[in-house]
Amino acid sequence: MSTPVGLRALIALLIYTFARVSAAIGMSVADYYVQGRRSWVRLHEKGGKRHQMPADHLLETYVDEYLADTGLAADKAASLFPPRPAAPASSPTGA
């Protein structure tokens, strides 16, 4: 999600679904799916609550673009917004 496309998809998901950040970050690729001719979003909220809702057309555009950009669409078990890899530890400089 360190790309502008990923950030735009995450922000759109938060705006169009009113999801909590932890629910959005906890989504897997399988939680964004197509049913009929519409894309749907499945959110896992606090207390085990699940919310399923159709995705807004702009949200669908942004998430589809993000999935195509990252290649995550093939792995349904993967996190939709995987954490950024840690930066390599800088080596000490100087004497």
Integer Cα distance of 33 and 31 in angstroms: 6
CB 17 within 8 A of CB 10: no
pLDDT at 61: 95
CATH number at residue 30: 1.10.443.10
pTM of the model: 0.81
Q: What angle do CA 65, 12, 66 make, to 5 degrees?
A: 20
79 within some domain: no
Query: Structurally, how many domains does the chain consist of?
Result: 1
> In tens digits, what is the pLDDT along the chain, a chain of 95 residues?
567 899 999 999 999 999 999 999 999 999 999 999 999 999 998 888 898 999 999 999 999 999 999 999 899 999 999 887 766 766 666 55
89 within some domain: no
82 within some domain: no
